[in-house]
Amino acid sequence: MSLDIGVFDALLLTGVLLAAVAAVLVPRRTASVAVFLVFGLLLALLWARLDAPDIALAEAVLGGGVTGALLVDALASKQPHAPPRRLWTVVVGIVAGTIAFLAAACVVSRLSGPTGELPRLVDDQIATTGAEHPVTAVLLNFRSFDTLLEIAVVMAAVFAATAVSDRSWARELSASGELRTIAMALLPVVALLAVWMLIAGTTRPGGAFQAGAMVGAGLVIAHLTGTRHASTRGRWGEALIVVGLVAFILLAFSTAVAGEGWLVLGESWASAAILGIEAVLAVSIGVGLARIFLANRNEPGEAR
Partner 1 sequence: MRYPALLPALVLLPLLLSAMVALVPRGPRRLAGAAASSITGVLGSAVVLALMIDGGSWEFALAGWEAPLGITLQADGTSTAFLALMTVVGVAVTVYAAAEPRLAGGPDFWPLWLVLWAGLNGVVVAGDLFNIYVMLELVTLAAVALVALGGRSAAAPALRYLFVGVVGSLLFLLAVALVYAETGTLDLLQVTAALEPGPVLTAIVALTLLGMGAKMALFPLHAWLPVAHPAAPAAVSAVLSALVIKAGVIVLWRIWFGLADDATAVRALGVVAGIAGAVAVFWGGAMALRSSRLKQIIAYSTVAQVGYFAIVLTLADGSAAGWSGGVVLVLAHGLAKAAMFLAAGTLAVAYGTDRLSHLHGAITHTPMTVAALGIAGISLAGLPPTFGFVAKWQLLMAAIEQGAWWWIGVLLLGGLLTFGYTAAMVRATFNRPGDDEVPAPHRVRSVLAVVPFTLAIASVVFGVFSAGLVDLVAEDPTVRGHG
DSSP per position, the chain: ------HHHHHHHHHHHHHHHHHHH-SBHHHHHHHHHHHHHHHHHHHHHTT-HHHHHHIIIIIIIIHHHHHHHHHHHS-SBPPPPPHHHHHHHHHHHHHHHHHHHHHHHTS--S-SSHHHHHHHHGGGTT-SSHHHHIIIIITHHHHHHHHHHHHHHHHHHHHHS-S---SS----HHHHHHHHHHHHHHHHHHHHHHHHTTTSS--HHHHHHHHHHHHHHHHHTT-TT-S--HHHHHHHHHHHHHHHHHHHHHHHHTSSSTTPPPTTTHHHHHHHHHHHHHHHHHHHHHHHHHHT-SSTT---
Report, in angstroms and rounded to the nearest whole number, the Rg of the chain calculated over CA atoms. 22
Q: What type of residue sits at position 1?
A: M
Q: Among 2, 77, 89, 112, which residue interacts with partner 1 (rule: CB under 8 A)?
A: 112
Residue 207 vs 244, nearer CB to partner 1: 244
DSSP 218-250: HHHHHHHTT-TT-S--HHHHHHHHHHHHHHHHH
225 binds partner 1 (CB under 8 A): no
Among 90, 264, 276, 300, binds partner 1 (CB under 8 A): 264
Q: How far is the CB of 111 from partner 1 (least distance, A)?
A: 5
Give yes or no for residue 7 binding partner 1 (CB under 8 A): no
Q: Pick from 99, 105, 146, 171: which binds partner 1 (CB under 8 A)?
A: 146
Closest contact distance (angstroms) between CB of 9 and partner 1 is 19
103 binds partner 1 (CB under 8 A): yes
Site string for partner 1, 165-204 (x = CB under 8 A): ----------------------------------------
Query: Shortest approach of partner 1 to residue 60 CB, angstroms?
Result: 21
Query: CA-based angle 167:170:173, to the nearest 5?
Result: 165
164 binds partner 1 (CB under 8 A): yes
Q: Does 150 bind partner 1 (CB under 8 A)?
A: yes
Q: How far is the CB of 216 from partner 1 (least distance, A)?
A: 18
- Does residue 115 bind partner 1 (CB under 8 A)? yes
Stretch that binds partner 1, among 12-20, 29-37, 117-125, 188-196 (CB under 8 A): 117-125
Q: How many residues line the site for partner 1 (CB under 8 A)?
A: 53
Among 135, 148, 277, 280, binds partner 1 (CB under 8 A): 148
Under rule CB under 8 A, residue 235 binds partner 1 = yes
Stretch that binds partner 1, among 20-28, 83-91, 145-153, 168-176 (CB under 8 A): 145-153
Contacts of 84 (CB under 8 A, 6+ apart): 27
Q: Does 163 bind partner 1 (CB under 8 A)?
A: yes
Q: Which residues bind partner 1 (CB under 8 A)?
A: 103-104, 106-108, 110-112, 114-118, 121-122, 125, 141-146, 148-150, 152-153, 155-157, 159-160, 162-164, 235, 238-239, 241-242, 245-246, 249-250, 252-253, 256, 260-265
